[in-house]
Amino acid sequence: MTSAPVIEVSNLTKRFGDLVAVDGLEFSVRSGAVTGFLGPNGSGKSTTLRTIVGLNLPTSGTATINGANYRDLKHPLRGVGAFLDPKSLPKKLRARTYLRILATSNRIPTTRVEDVLDFVGIASVASKRIDEFSLGMAQRLGIAVALLGDPEVLIFDEPMNGLDPDGIRWMRQVFSSLATEGRTVLVSSHLINEIATCAHHVIVIGQGRLLAQGTVDELTVRVDSPVTFSSRDNASLAALIEGRGGTVTGTGENSVTVSGIDAEAIGQLALDARVVVTQLVTLRDSLEDSYFELTEQSLDFKVGH
């Protein structure tokens, strides 16, 4: 991950009257990875994303893509695909018509329209008016809109809202494969678990300020990640773990949850003791924990406010 930053937000502040929505925010997003943009509702995520794509003008500071302001891009859809709000879809137009209008405006070959409709799986309903679409179909159309110009940079604001579990899984796969192709993918969410399994990098904000930025691994070392294991001899393995400074925090029917020790050390202990391990999992909600730990303060402040 030594690529140059693609999206750069530098000392960005955005005020709406007395309200400070974004307050001296600073972060960068690199290519070839999915970057999760996290924060509670009202933390300034949408305002930041809208500023990056030129819908807002910053009060001060800058937000650039490959060093340029979005508003200065000649055919922006060819470089940056963004889908920020299902309301931005024209309800009275047919899905295919809308994509054709967008393609025309950015001199994108109209063959791309059918390509992206096929890719997101709504080709069969593309002749329907958008107001007949379910929320899930509208979100898929939003992905098609973003992908239309085959852009290197993709920006999504809460794309999984209203999706069923299948849709969420599909969308995670889409984001991951786009990043694997070397693109830059920035995805916001207020629900950490939505993107925990596909994001490589995470930016956490609260009250318009940066709380943390780094890889998922970097963020999760802040908290003690619990590990769950099952083995042929849970009791003796648990005793060995406690001997190494680990703490048993829960015992299930077949499994034991411990903290204060990582999965690798447990595996080594089991190998040394010749205990067959049938399951060994570092619990994924550790990122969620670190997220709550980070955002708790900004939420507390808000309640007291």
Partner 1 sequence: MRGFVATVSAEWLKLRSYRSTFVALGIFVLLGAGFGALTGWSTQHQWATLQPIQRATFDPLFTSLSGIALGPIALGGLSVGFITNEFSSGYLQGTLLAVPNRTRLILSKIVVLALPVAVLAVITSYGAVFAFNATIELAHERVVLSHHGVTRSLVLAGLYMALAITFAFGMGLLLRKTALAVSLFIGIYLAVPIVVQLFPWHWLHVAQPYMIANLGASMISDTTPTGGLNVWVATGLLGLYTGALIVLGVARLQRTSL
> How many angstroms separate the Cα of 62 from the Cα of each of 11, 17, 79?
7, 19, 19
Smallest separation, CB 61 to partner 1 (Å): 15
Phi, psi dihedrals of residue 248, rounded to the nearest 5°: -80, 120
User: Does 302 interact with partner 1 (rule: CB under 8 A)?
Assistant: no
Task: Rule CB under 8 A: choose which of 49, 82, 113, 269 binds partner 1.
Answer: 82
**Window contacting partner 1 (CB under 8 A); options: 71-79, 115-123, 187-195, 287-295:** 71-79
Nearest-5° angle of CA 88, CA 180, CA 5? 75
Q: What is the CA radius of gyration of the chain?
A: 22
Least separation in angstroms between residue 201's CB and partner 1 is 24
75 binds partner 1 (CB under 8 A): yes
Least separation in angstroms between residue 276's CB and partner 1 is 56
Question: What's the distance, CA 106 to chain centroid?
Answer: 27
Q: Per-residue string for binding with partner 1, 25-64, x by CB under 8 A?
A: -------------------------x--xxxxx-------
The continuous run of DSSP H or E covering 286 comes out as helix 286-304
CA dist 294 to 126, 211, 260, 272, 298, Å? 43, 7, 20, 38, 8
Residue 100-139 contact track with partner 1, rule CB under 8 A, x = bound: xxx-xxxx--------------------------------
185 forms part of the interface with partner 1 (CB under 8 A) = no
Q: Give the number of other Cβ atoms within 10 Å of residue 228's Cβ.
A: 18
Judged by CB under 8 A, the residue of 74, 109, 165, 245 near partner 1 is 74
Q: What letter represents residue 37's amino acid?
A: F
CA distances to 62, 283, 285 from 241, rounded to whole Å, are: 50, 17, 21
- Out of 3, 91, 161, 254, the residue judged to bind partner 1 by CB under 8 A: 91
Choose between 146 and 178: whose C-beta lies nearer to partner 1: 146
Residues near partner 1, by CB under 8 A: 14, 16, 50, 53-57, 70-77, 82, 84-85, 87-94, 97, 100-102, 104-107, 145
